[in-house]
Chains A and B, each alone.
Chain A
Amino acid sequence: DAGVIQSPRHEVTEMGQEVTLRCKPISGHNSLFWYRQTMMRGLELLIYFNNNVPIDDSGMPEDRFSAKMPNASFSTLKIQPSEPRDSAVYFCASSRRRDRGINGYTFGSGTRLTVV
């Protein structure tokens, strides 16, 4: 099991540029979550999908942020235009919904985004 795979691991971009973060969930998991971690705010849920359908995007900070899940094995989080305050570590996690006794969610290794 390769786990949740995120790319890139590190991204440095200039303010105003578009940034796309990618995530491949664990095969068989039908829920996918995007989180952001900063020193100021800790771990925050941005958006999550069940069966590729966005369920709750109330955590998405602004319209500059968007997320898609075109199929069960791939999701993207896009920031356009990026700003320095978007600098953070972005985590993707997946789980099997309605599965009792599973070991919670599985997180990827994260993408460290720096906007200069």
Chain B
Amino acid sequence: GESVGLHLPTLSVQEGDNSIINCAYSNSASDYFIWYKQESGKGPQFIIDIRSNMDKRQGQRVTVLLNKTVKHLSLQIAATQPGDSAVYFCAEILSWGGGADGLTFGKGTHLIIQP
């Protein structure tokens, strides 16, 4: 039969604009969160991480916000560039260093940068 693949949400933004990618995570007990970027044909690439005892963390052009009340993560990318076009995944770990170290990934969002 015909296979049905994941229908990834798509976010299209103009080059130079800011973008916000959202993610709802599954486990309220998760302790550590990571955002990954995956370009076609490549493995996921680390962008930024955040522990559950923080609600905001900034990197170069990126900011991650964590709202534990509603189990929500967001990734903000400032001044988007063509090279930012990729699929972005959020991932959670139940207990960093506590034995349950496997990452659980979200479904991903496809970010498209329009020239």
- Hey, which bits of chain A sit against chain B, CB under 8 A? 4, 31, 33, 39-45, 48, 50, 55-56, 59, 91, 93, 95, 97-99, 103-110
Contact = CB atoms under 8 A, between A and B. Distances in A.
Contacts, number: 63
B104 interface: yes
- B interface SS class: loop
Interface of B: 3-6, 34, 36, 42-46, 49, 89, 91, 96-97, 99-108
14 contacts: A40-B6, A42-B106, A42-B107, A42-B108, A44-B105, A56-B102, A91-B44, A103-B49, A104-B36, A104-B46, A104-B49, A105-B103, A107-B43, A107-B44
A19 to B, nearest CB: 19
A65 to B, nearest CB: 16
A105 B46 contact: yes
B5 A109 contact: no
Contacts of B43: 4, 91, 93, 107-110
Contacts of B99: 55
Give the one of B4, B99, B102, B104 with max A CB within 10 A: B102
A28 B105 CA distance: 25
A113 B103 CA distance: 22
B6 A103 contact: no
8 closest Cβ pairs, A-B complex: A39-B5, A107-B43, A98-B97, A43-B105, A45-B102, A104-B34, A104-B46, A107-B44
Nearest to A108: B43
A103 B32 CA distance: 12
